[in-house]
Amino acid sequence: MMSGPLSGKTIVVGVTGSIAAFKAPQIVTRLVGQGANVVVIMTENATRFVTPLTFETLSGNAVVVDMFPDRNTGVTSLEDAASRPERLRHVHLAEATDLAIVAPATANIIGKMANGVADDFLSTELLAMTCPTIMAPAMNVRMMESDVVRENVEKLKARGVIFAEAEVGRLASGVVGKGRLADPESIAGIALELLLPKQDLVGRRVVVSAGPTREPVDPVRFIGNRSSGKMGYALAERALRRGGDVVLVSGPSSLEPPHGVEYIRVETAVEMLGAVMKSFAEADLLIMAAAPADYRPAEPSDVKIKKTTDRLTLELVRTDDILSEAAGARREGQGIVGFALETNAELEEGRRKLAEKDLDIIVVNNPLVDDAGFDTDTNVAAILTRSGRELELAKMPKKDLADVILTEAINELGWGQRR
């Protein structure tokens, strides 16, 4: 295997039944040249355009086509792929894969993946994989522009699938339009960028808060909110991926913290304040993505409150504003990113809070917008900066939004590329 920047990375390249399949060997060649271990999975229709032997020769791995090894199709199976190259032995392909690329991606495979269909080896593996996936469509322009293909593409984008957009050119039908497979060099470049992300937070300590807080009413009841922590956890994962030394301060959440972060679990707003302030004292950046309670019971009961009356009155007192406390205590060079959840006049409220709380950046979103509320995997947000930059963003996966927020913070603070 060649050495290179992708050494140690396993990339699955899925090839489907399109005339554009003749370009897929170029993608494999470029990835292998970067040191990647490339495993090719072909649909049976793809083998009518390019032979499995071509990919086997280029990748050095057996090509997987048939779901079952006992069919006499003249092509190899996963059993062959696991027994022939030593580096794949006893390793489940889906678990071993760092990146999946489907090129060319037909309307058929896009529809299968969007709707959870797993009726051949490629669609089954795509459903089982949790790694990043690149889809490179290639099809007739009328298919590309059809409502159902557009809907399926949007479904996959919302789930975080990356699309290497088709190019405009002369298609197999002779029609000129959008539908040509993206340039193989461009597809390989996207793979390189995904597997070797920018390391622009190396040497920086980043504190991220996430999730809700629970303010006890009595030993069994509490005041809380619907925050899932997904945005904060995505920020912690992406900051870690970009080389940061990350502290995740989280309220109650069912999410698993990213491996490699310093994880601090808290329950109440008071506990979150203490953990954030202690961690931020030695940090470069605070991203306050948590949703701590604004109020807490003034005197929580030590015993369960009995249901003895038709009405129960609770006296609530305000909790400390963690963002304001952090801004008041920060030293020169420290950055702060805040979040504002607003249901009307979002930008106006965002600008007010940005100035009032002395923040470098504020991220504003409206939970009433479709796919932008609590416990969603996507968000629709606007980013406002101290320097006056305002970005109104389209719906995107929270992990992608996390990268946008981090990039804006790095630019706003003037850190630039560190290494």
Please give the Cα distance from 229 to 227 (Å, whole number). 6
User: How far lies 398's CA from each of 2, 164, 197, 237, in Å?
Assistant: 35, 20, 17, 11
Element (H, E) at 318: strand 316-318
Please give the Cα distance from 55 to 57 (Å, whole number). 5
Q: Helix (H, G, I), strand (E, B), or coil: what is residue 39?
A: strand
Among residues 34, 140, 38, the alpha carbon closest in space to that of 88 is found at 38
Q: Tokens in use for 334?
A: 């420290």
Quick check: 133 and 159 in contact, CB under 8 A?
Answer: no
Is 290 exposed, middle or buried (CB count within 10 Å of its CB: 0-12, 13-18, 19+)?
buried
Quick check: 297 and 249 in contact, CB under 8 A?
Answer: no
Please give the Cα distance from 264 to 262 (Å, whole number). 7
Specify the residue for token string 């399109």: 18
* Cβ-based neighbour number of residue 150 at 10 Å: 11
Q: Is 225 a catalytic residue?
A: yes
Single out the catalytic residue among 45, 108, 140, 225: 225
Q: Helix (H, G, I), strand (E, B), or coil: what is residue 302?
A: coil
Q: Which residues are catalytic?
A: 225
